[in-house]
Structure 1
Amino acid sequence: MSKRPAPKAPPSYLVAEKRRQRTVWTSIVTLAVLLIAGIVGYATYATQRADDITYPKATAPGDNTGFALGAGPVKVDVYTDFMCPGCKNFKDASWPALETMIRENKITVVYHPVAILDHSSQGSKFSTRAAAISACAADSGKFNEFNAAMYAQQPAQGTAGLTNEQMIDMGRGVGLGDDFVKCAEDKKYGNWVREITNTMSERGFRLTPTVTVNGKQLETPSPEKITEAVTAATK
């Protein structure tokens, strides 16, 4: 009986090609698995991040990054840091004009108390602490009064800033009570401040004070420029 000839081995180039294809498909599958894992991981992180944030009850309608004063048709956003000297200068110079336009029902001012100067308070994170406590004041209906008191006693940039106890005493001084004190002592809104500071950066703003009128940033946020922009927005 004759023997069948042994099958010929496939050419080496075919073996190499099959090996290459297996490597490619293995890589594709691995990348797909990593991509899915990354998406799931990010979604979990984002959910946990959102769950870690307690939002103040007093935030502006449709904008949980700030507190509204007034109810006029033109929106004026003010991004401010309690350790920023320019923010105090802006507040002192511009508040009379803003207050007048609020009273005349021309504007809604939304204050965003952010923390971009934590590095300038000797490690005490004064900007974050102050902004968080201002949110407690907002929840008790006295953001504007607390804001004014804070800038009236603004610490110098580069110092440790005020202690929480000093800021709580300032809150008591403008009529805030036990709910405010407990909120401040519990450090309730620290994560919220970090979130809105990140949001400010995502919106393309880097400095304080930053002022926008109906979303348009003013290069020079003076009372005159704000009034001009508001007037133009109402035409």
Structure 2
Amino acid sequence: MRSGHVAPPVHIPAGVTGTEGGIAVGAGPVVVDVYLDFLCPFCKQFELTAGPKLDELVRSRRIARLYHPMNILDEASTNRYSSRAASASGCAADQGRFVEYAYMLFVNQPPEGGPGLSDDELIGLGTSLGVEDQDFEDSVRRHVYVDWAAYVTAKAALRGVNATPTVFVQGKAVPANIQIITAAVDAATNA
């Protein structure tokens, strides 16, 4: 593999846009990239506190939010939970339920060091959201998007992302703080 090149994943979830592998939500003029790991407790804190404001900015068509689920904490579980959770989020994206499912992954986040949620539990989160499609269940069990999580992580590393959560507004890194993010969005809107 040559420097800076990452082989694309075999399977790509619905909603993925661009070359970085992020799932796009919204169509506002300002792009907010959020790099996260579903096992990361700081990501959980960020999503549960900043998520509602970011959702509001998406609804008001001020931003397009790109979610980049990474697998950097696979070694902090006994069964590659970060990869499996990211894969399951891609399966939810195929059902048009990525945002709600990602929220459920954080609300039900397991502690680091253990096995994480089982495939049955990941499917159950989808069921609790009304996703009862057999394709969803099958793709969660087959871990169909694990290669996508690895791709997102590799592309993030090339961008200099080495921790989660990491946030970019219009391509510029900003602290994962909703006040600073909102100020950066305002500045980009007024530029």
Higher strand share: 2
1:234 counterpart SS class: helix
Name which one, 1 or 2, has greater alpha-carbon Rg.
1
Pick from 2, 22, 29 the counterpart of residue 66 of structure 1. Answer: 22
Structure 1 CA distance, aligned partners of 2:134 and 2:13? 16
CA contact (8 A) 1:101 1:107 kept: yes
2:181 paired with 1:222: no
Partner Cα distance (1:163, 1:79) in 2: 23
Q: 2:104 maps to what in 1?
A: 149
Instruction: Note closer, same or farther for the CA distance 1:64–1:206 as it changes in structure 2 (3 Å cut).
Output: closer
Identity %: 39
Partner of 2:49: 93
Structure 1 residues 183-198: aligned runs within 5 Å = 183-198=139-154
- 1:78 has 2:49 as partner: no
Note the 1:138-177 alignment, pairs <5 A.
138-176=93-131, 177=133
Report matched runs for 1:192-211 at 5 Å.
Answer: 192-211=148-167
SS in 2 for 1:217: strand
State whether residues 40 and 164 of structure 2, in contact with CA within 8 Å, keep that contact through their aligned partners in structure 1: yes
Offset at residue 195 of structure 1 (A):
1.2
d(CA) in 2 for partners of 1:192, 1:101: 27
Aligned residues of 1:55 and 1:64 also touching (Cα < 8 A):
no
**Greater relative CO (CA pairs within 8 A, separation 6+):** 2
Deviations 1:118-164 (CA, angstroms, capped at 9, x unpaired): 11002x10000000110010011000110111111100112211111
Distance apart, 1:69 and its partner CA: 1.3
How many residues matched? 187
| 1:102 paired residue among 46, 58, 62 | 58
Q: Return the offset for 1:64.
A: 5.4
Q: 2:10 aligns with which of 44, 53, 61?
A: 53
Kindly indicate whether the alpha-carbon contact (under 8 Å) linking 1:140 and 1:179 is maintained by their aligned counterparts in 2: no
Q: Take 2:98 and 2:23, find their aligned partners in 1: how far apart are those partners? A: 8
Counterpart CA distance in 2 for 1:58 and 1:98 is 18
Q: By how many angstroms is 1:58 displaced?
A: 2.4
Give the 4+ runs in structure 1 shifted more than 4 A. Answer: none
Residue 120 (structure 1) aligns with: 76
From the superposition, tell whether residues 84 and 212 of structure 1 become closer, same or farther in structure 2 (CA, over 3 Å).
Answer: same
Q: Is the 8 A contact 1:114 1:128 kept in 2?
A: yes
Residue identity opposite 1:135 in structure 2: G
CA–CA distance in 2 between the matches of 1:115 and 1:179?
23
Provide the C-alpha distance between the structure 1 equivalents of 2:141 and 2:76, rounded to a whole number of angstroms: 23
Output the TM-score relative to the length of structure 2: 0.92
Structure 2: gaps (5+ residues)? none
Structure 1 unaligned residues grouped into runs of 5+: 1-41
Root-mean-square deviation (Å) = 1.7
